[in-house]
Amino acid sequence: MDAHLLRSTFAVVERRAEHAVTFFYSHLFWHNPGVRELFPQDLAPQRDRLFAALTHVVTHLEDPGLAGYLGQLGRDHRKFLATPALYSAVGASLLAAFAHTAGAAWTVEAEKAWTEAYGFVADLMKAGADESVADGEPAWWDADVVGHERYGADLTLLTLRPRRPYPYAAGQYVSVSTLHVPRVWRTYSLANAPRPDGTLDLHVSRIRGGLMSTALTEQLRVGETLRLSAPGGALTARTPPGKPRTYIAGGTGWAPVRALLEEAAEDEPRLEGRLFLVARAKEYLYGRADVDRLTELIPGLHVTYITAAPGRPRDQATDRLVQALRAAVHWPAHDVYLAGPPGLLTEVTEELTDLGTDPDRIFHDRLPAVGRFSTRPGTRAEWLLEPPQLHWHNPEARAPREPYA
């Protein structure tokens, strides 16, 4: 692939990103009317995901991990009932949108480069989907709601029982769909290590204006059924036995850390480690009972609770966390497992690196982005993608990125 030509063309298209994706979906649905029913009524999050995926591919063309990313993306798209015909239709509409948006930059050479690039992407995605079919993996798992516990107005702890075995590792996440919000999927971390009875826990923080989080918190009832995607993510245990480690959890980032600690309590109860549990206010430290149970099982786990002072801005919790990290010692010897809002992940990763932690030993997942969050340095084009007045801005995607939502 001509990476330079692909990037230069994309740089032109992204300056008119909203126009490009609007044209794309209009073209797709006009030429393929039956496809519209596969998409949710509100296309704003879907538009965000499309451009986020395009950005990821364009910025990682030489990355050896791109093939794995695309294979996983294809595996995940089985839940959307993606077929070879749909891949072809999407490719045709994407090229039409780029041609319409790029103007004079859309040369014969650019069209050839993007046609080849899309074929490469689609082939890897379809190969990932085919591999999951060959492995006997369903497009999704049906799971019955067997527990629905509210903690205040904003937090719900769900317990689910999948109707067929659901293989996953502690620390991974899952996408969830409910009939209350048809054809919409949202991602949540699995909050427990695998259990003999197969049940799963999810921690759902209700976001103001968030369709899915509101449905799961206020409308869902015990006895109803959710759909679960294949598990994803790589925040899994990888520290050799006997080596020290640190866990840092902000808000509902406690969910994957809780799962990792449950696994450690079973496999390595004599581990030496420390846990920093952070919340925007004292009342949001909902995991205390679980922490008490786990410290009994893992006596070498030392716990620090951190919140903002009463009446103080929630950002103060992050400042207090940074102070606590600086007061701790032996960072070069520790693996670090980190979970929480993306802003917290970025700030804490930079701080830990300054304290001597090997960046390759700081483990965290960034859940699949709904908003347009690029991995390349900030540019004028990126600023144009993020203004608050954009009408396809997704409040459910942005709200969790506030501190400890």
Which residue, among 14, 4, 13, has the nearest Cα to 105 in the 3D structure? 13
Record the pTM. Answer: 0.81
Confidence class for position 369, pLDDT limits 50, 70, 90: very low
- Within the chain, which residue ranges are assigned CATH 3.40.50.80? 245-363
Return the structure tokens found at 206: 């209700």
What does the DSSP 8-state code read for residue 402? S
The domain at 245-363 falls in which architecture?
3-Layer(aba) Sandwich (3.40)
- Strands, DSSP E only, in 83-209? 141-151, 155-162, 173-177, 186-189, 200-205
**Unique residue bearing structure tokens 């609007």:** 22
* Better-predicted residue by pLDDT, 99 or 311: 99
Question: What is the tens place of the pLDDT at every residue in 267-311?
Answer: 998 999 999 999 888 878 888 999 999 999 999 999 999 998 877
Check: CATH 2.60.120.260 for 141-228? no
**Three-state SS for 9?**
helix
Q: What is the identity of the amino acid at 175?
A: S
CA-based Rg of the chain, rounded to a whole angstrom? 22
Terminus-to-terminus CA distance in the chain, angstroms?
Answer: 41
Query: How much is the average pLDDT of 122-139?
Result: 94
CB 176 within 8 A of CB 202: yes
- Within the chain, which residue ranges are assigned CATH 2.40.30.10? 141-228
Q: What is the pLDDT of residue 366?
A: 65
Q: What is the pLDDT of residue 314?
A: 66
The CATH class that applies to domain 3-136 reads: mainly alpha
Question: What is the tens place of the pLDDT at every residue in 212-262?
Answer: 999 999 999 999 999 999 998 889 999 999 899 999 999 899 999 999 999
Q: What is the pLDDT of residue 399?
A: 32
- Within the chain, which residue ranges are assigned CATH 1.10.490.10? 3-136
Query: How much is the average pLDDT of 137-153?
Result: 92
**What mean pLDDT, rounded, does the chain reach?**
86
> Degrees (nearest 5) of the Cα angle 216, 220, 225?
100
Which residue, among 271, 404, 384, has the nearest Cα to 13 in the 3D structure? 384
Q: What is the pLDDT of residue 370?
A: 40
Return the structure tokens found at 227: 């759909």
